Amino acid sequence: MNTALQRYTNLHTVRDWLRYAVSRFSRAGLVFGHGSDNAYDEAAYLLLRTLHLPPDLLEPFLDARLLDSERAAVREIIERRVTERLPAPYLTGEAWLRGRRFEIDHNVLVPRSPIAELLDDALAPWVPDSNEVRSVMDMCTGSGCLAILASQAFEYATVEAVDISDAALAVARRNVATYGMEGRLTLHRSNLFDDLPEMQMDLIICNPPYVNAASMSALPPEYRHEPGLALAGGADGMDLVRRILRDAPRFLVPGGHLVLEIGHERPYFEAAFPSLEPVWLATSTAPDQILLLTREQLDDFVQDQP
């Protein structure tokens, strides 16, 4: 027997290792939120993924006995999760969002934007007819997950996905290829809107860096593995939001919409932009983290700026 496994001689089945992993994660005080919100679900996912078992079929395999090679692999991923504090998706190289699998690495955020839930229904009722949406932009696309979900939600639309990071765009390119979206989805390297050609969008969706400086300094280790470029939004979290609100109307058709995620920063948003009255789009997990503004509201806002 592998000497590294000798202390685990009583752990034979998937059930044994699941119990051990939950205890190990809980004792270590891990922080969750990158695909699961508790130790049990995270342990189950890591075990099933490591053992090459279907990710939604735990019960039939609970009493299956592991080979020594499998026990070694399971032990390694449990220990890496604890000692490196890596989010589970960075350990497996994949993340799941709304039932879809996306390839990821440390160059992109772990996909979890609540905008994805709104795309299930193609932003209805705020966008009354998804068939009339012919152009969508996903600003700060990262892994490309929202751009791909938008391509699926608005089947007659072309999608422009934008990011400043070449490394992130490389990940997005692989996901676009996996979903066969090359003909409808174009990737652009740009610092927000600065380097884009002129184009007019029916809809812009955006999950920008918005975490304020105090919150950045208090992030748990798991979140510090994510690229700071995709998280940090300056002192009040609104640095990039200011630029987006300023420039977005030039890229929207009359009657077009901007859907913008700001996480837990609503007080900072309202303090920074007191004249704006967005519609707040509630999801099952986020009652006030996503806002909607029209092209006309943004035009008025820009005109009022000194």
Give the tens place of pLDDT for each residue, 94-124. 999 999 999 999 999 999 999 999 999 999 9
What pLDDT, on a 0 to 100 scale, did the predictor assign at position 296?
97
CB 153 within 8 A of CB 136: no
Q: What pLDDT does residue 257 have?
A: 98
d(CA 204, CA 256): 8
Distance CA 269, CA 262 (A): 8
261 confidence band (pLDDT: 50, 70, 90): very high
209: cis peptide before it, omega within 30°?
A: no
Provide the percentage of residues in the chain whose pLDDT is more than 90.
93
**What residue spans in the chain does CATH classification 1.10.8 cover?**
3-92
What is the Cα–Cα distance from 290 to 281, expressed in whole angstroms? 5
Q: Which residues contact 208 (CB under 8 A, 6 or more apart)?
A: 139, 140, 233, 240, 241, 244, 260, 261
Residue of 7 and 167 predicted with greater confidence: 167
Residue 6 confidence class, pLDDT cut points 50, 70, 90: low
Determine the average pLDDT of the residues in 230-258. Answer: 97
Token reading at 69: 């090679």
What are residue 257's DSSP bridge partners?
203, 294
Residue 306 confidence (pLDDT) above 90: no
Instruction: List the CATH code of the domain at 95-304.
Output: 3.40.50.150
Q: Report the b/e string of 43-77 with b at 16+ CB within 10 A.
A: bbbbbbbbbeeeeeebeebeeeebeeebbebbbeb
The pTM for the full model equals 0.94
31-78, pLDDT tens digit by residue? 999 999 999 999 999 999 999 999 889 999 999 999 999 999 999 999
Q: Among 2-16, 114-128, 137-151, which is the least confidently predicted range?
A: 2-16
Region 3-92: CATH code: 1.10.8
Which of the residue ranges 80-89, 106-115, 297-306 would you say has the lowest mean pLDDT?
297-306
Distance of CA 19 to the CA centre of its chain: 29
Where exactly does CATH 3.40.50.150 map onto the chain? 95-304
Q: Looking at residue 305, what is its pLDDT?
A: 84
The count of residues in the chain is 306
Choose between 6 and 82: higher pLDDT: 82
Residue whose C-alpha is closest to residue 162's, from 136, 184, 200, 180:
136
User: How far is 71 from 139, CA to CA, in rounded Å?
Assistant: 43
Gyration radius of the chain's alpha carbons: 21
Q: What SS3 state is found at 258? A: strand
* Amino acid found at 112: R
Give the pair of three-digit tokens for residue 113.
Answer: 């934007």
Res. 1: pLDDT tops 60: no
The neighbouring-strand residues paired with 291 are 260, 280
Q: What are phi and psi of 280, to 5 degrees?
A: -95, 125
The mean pLDDT of the chain is 96
Terminal C-alpha separation, the chain: 73
8 Å CB contact between 172 and 161: yes
